[in-house]
Amino acid sequence: MARWDPGAQERLTTAALDLYLEHGYENVTVADIAERAGLTRRSFFRYFPDKREVLFAGSERLPAVLREAVLGADPAAPPLAAVLDACDRLGTQLTEALGHDHVARRRAVIDSSAELQERERTKSAAVSAALDEALRERGTDPATATLVAQVASVAIGQAFRRWSESADASFTDGLHAVLDTLRAALADGDGRPPRA
């Protein structure tokens, strides 16, 4: 076999997802994944530092890409509109690149493991921090920037979840549904918690 197999990373990812779904994330080893993919452990570590990163590979680039998209948004757009437009465009590109089946299978594996859920929260915090930074660079006051970034980060996560649960809906549909739910929740009464 060639030292650098061009399909190795994809085979490792597919093998890992299959094994995680068949046996549970905790019960699968790097050796199991490599064997299923027809590769060696050494080959595995050329692509991934550990078995968790099979599920998160490439996500380290997302905060910087989102930051640049927000900085490139219409300068006149209000903070939330700038962030959501950037998230919608990038979310659509990402879902088209990954494909529904991959995201749905990945979601099922993450939902089954507290360790993976914690890793996903860490990645989500990095996205929120990047959005916060971009908004501040656009001139948004710090308190507003932080709030908008956190709300947008939650909306992105929920939109991906909705999209992964329905093959008939687009990422944009999921994002709009999340925003409609948020608007409805805020419109209930005056949007303020009851006073004691």
Between 77 and 2, the higher pLDDT residue:
77
pLDDT in tens, 87-136: 888 888 877 777 778 888 999 999 999 999 999 999 999 999 999 999 99
Check: CB of residue 71 under 8 Å from CB of residue 83: no
pTM (2 decimals)?
Answer: 0.83
Listed residue (36, 42, 35, 63) closest to 126, CA to CA: 63
For 52-66, what is the mean pLDDT? 90
